[in-house]
Amino acid sequence: MNTLEKHFKIRERGSSVRTEVLAGMTTFATMAYIIILQPVNMRDTGMDTVGILIATALVSACITMLMGVAANMPIALAPGIASGIVLTYSIVVPGLADWKVGLGMSMISAILFLVLSLFKIREKIVELIPKNIKIGISAGLGIFIIRTALVNARLVNPDFRGFGDFSDPSVLLSAVSIVICFILYFLRIKTGGKEYRIRSSLLIAIVVTTVIGIPMGVVQVPSSIFTSGGIASLGNIAFKADVLGALRPEYIAFVLAFFVSDFFGTLATALGLGQQMGMLDENGNFPIIGKIFLVDAIGSVVGTCMGVTVVTSYVESASGIEVGGRTGLASVVTGLFFLLAVLFAPLFLMIPTAATTPVLLIIGFVMMQGLKSIDFGIEEWVPVGMLIISTLFYGISQGIGIGLLTYCGVKSAYYLFTDERGMDKLPSPFTIIFTLLTCIQFFI
């Protein structure tokens, strides 16, 4: 216990071993879906799906534990969903390249991440982004999580035209899950002059919803709790990336696609989680974001070597933070559960989307609370508002690009057409350059 305390500084951050363990378990429960979703997204590449499952679990376990030990942060990492979809449906299925060359493109992007992280360039980029934009990124991520949770649970239609079909047992279970989770989360009991809450409410809600889903026919009890196929399948995809084959001019756009997806995904997640833990400074910077970027970059290189796409930090980490996780011990626990998933994947994959929906809703609402510290002057708020709305409809990286573009436009207009002509009113040269770079994604 003393060793854990000394390394992770558990008491110093206002936590306890029990809380960190619960936080790690909760984070795993909310993101266990990636173990099965990644093979589903990438099966049309012709890769061994059991191998993808094993690689996803192993890489997620090792890099998440590295995050806990090296950065002492309760942040879980796993192969990115978006990058897996790009590899499958933008590269392999259209016949532009096979999956080995596609992994080569992903590896080039990962190596670029590692170089930028080692020289702390990614860290400097974050420091130079305007404060309000950084706060807006966190809030935008929150509202994107809410939208994704509602749509994935089919509680609302993807086009937002009406509610889902509540005669569908899975949709009904999602609604029941929200009621259960919100009751447990907001329940307060006062006795003896003290107020108590259920610290493990999110994890309890996930387990209860999963159990309820069994008689409803939403959750299927597996015939075996052990993963079939074994580690041998991993050899069919590991160390197969064709980097030399990916070094062709026509593949630059895809390398950029992998790069943009991971860069902004990790940026938004790190700032959002830092805001949630109250660890951002007065300028909206996250002092230890450099370590987070470095671990993320190492994970991307390892991931592409093992046969999956670039690794990124997952917003589901916020579920563990919400139950009190404040140190890397939570990440170590999450990583251990990913290791167990290698052997017992069917057991963990019983968790339905309905069980994690309310947890993600709460996370989204919590992350949007950062807006209370924003400057609501019209010229400051409009770019943030555009960022949030764009993130809601188009995605994280697109939202950041549109938000920065609006910021530069509004600031320039104020300088040109009002009496406020101080040079401090103009966007900095770096902000302009960075904005132009983010807009590349709209043309690839």
Q: What is the pLDDT of residue 229?
A: 66
What is the H or E stretch that residue 312 is in? strand 311-313
Q: Which two tokens stand for residue 166?
A: 């509540």
- Which string of DSSP letters, residue by residue, matches 101-147? HHHHHHHHHHHHHHHHHHTTHHHHHHHHS-HHHHHHHHHHHHHHHHH
Per-residue pLDDT, 422: 59
Q: Are 303 and 311 in contact (CB under 8 A)?
A: yes
Q: Left if phi > 0, otherwise alpha if psi is -120 to 50, otherwise beta: which for 220?
A: beta
Higher per-residue pLDDT: 212 or 38: 212
Q: Express each pLDDT in 107-129 by its tens digit.
A: 999 999 899 999 888 888 777 77
pLDDT number for residue 27: 92
Distance in angstroms between the alpha carbons of the first and the last residue of the chain: 51
Query: What is the mean pLDDT of the segment spanning 156-163?
Result: 82
Q: Which residues pair with 311 in a beta bridge?
A: 79
The pTM (predicted TM-score) of the whole model is 0.75
- Whole-number pLDDT of residue 199: 66
What's the pLDDT at 406?
Answer: 94
Structure tokens given for 47: 């890769």
pLDDT mean across residues, the chain:
86
Residues 391, 138: contact at Cβ < 8 Å?
no
185-199, 301-315, 334-348: which range is least confident on average?
185-199
Distance CA 66, CA 335 (A): 9
Candidate from 41-50, 67-76, 291-300 with smallest mean pLDDT: 41-50
Nearest alpha-carbon partner for 55 in 79, 77, 33, 32: 79
Please write the tens of the pLDDT for every residue from 362-384.
878 877 887 887 878 888 899 99
Kindly give, in sequence order, each residue whose CB lies less than 8 Å from that of residue 293, ignoring residues fewer than 6 positions away.
113, 116, 117, 122, 123, 266, 270
pLDDT of residue 212 exceeding 90, the answer is yes
The answer to whether residues 313 and 270 touch, using CB atoms and an 8 Å cutoff, is: yes
Average pLDDT over residues 32-37: 78
pLDDT digits (tens, 9 = 90+) for 249-291: 888 868 876 886 677 778 878 888 888 888 888 777 888 889 9
Asked if 415 and 384 count as a contact pair (C-beta separation under 8 A), the reply is no
Farthest-apart Cα atoms in the chain, separation: 73
Distances (CA, A) of 114 to 58, 107, 437, 440: 20, 10, 19, 21
443 or 1: whose pLDDT is higher? 443
Give the closest residue to 203 by CA, choosing from 175, 225, 184, 183.
184
Q: Give whichever of 32-41, 57-66, 186-195, 342-351 has the largest mean pLDDT.
A: 57-66
Extents of the domains making up the chain: 1-152+220-349, 374-443
Dist CA 187 CA 4 (whole Å): 31
Residue 248 reports pLDDT greater than 90: no
* Confidence band of 177 (pLDDT split at 50, 70, 90): very high
Is the model's pLDDT at 175 over the cut of 70? yes
> Which residue type sits at 180?
I
* Separation CA 97–CA 367 (nearest Å): 39
Torsion of CA 145, 149, 151, 153, to 10 degrees: 170
Task: Report yes or no: 176 and 212 within 8 Å, Cβ to Cβ.
Answer: yes
User: Do 89 and 46 form a contact (C-beta atoms < 8 A)?
Assistant: no
The confidence band for 36, taking pLDDT boundaries of 50, 70 and 90, is confident
Structure-token pair, residue 64: 């998440």
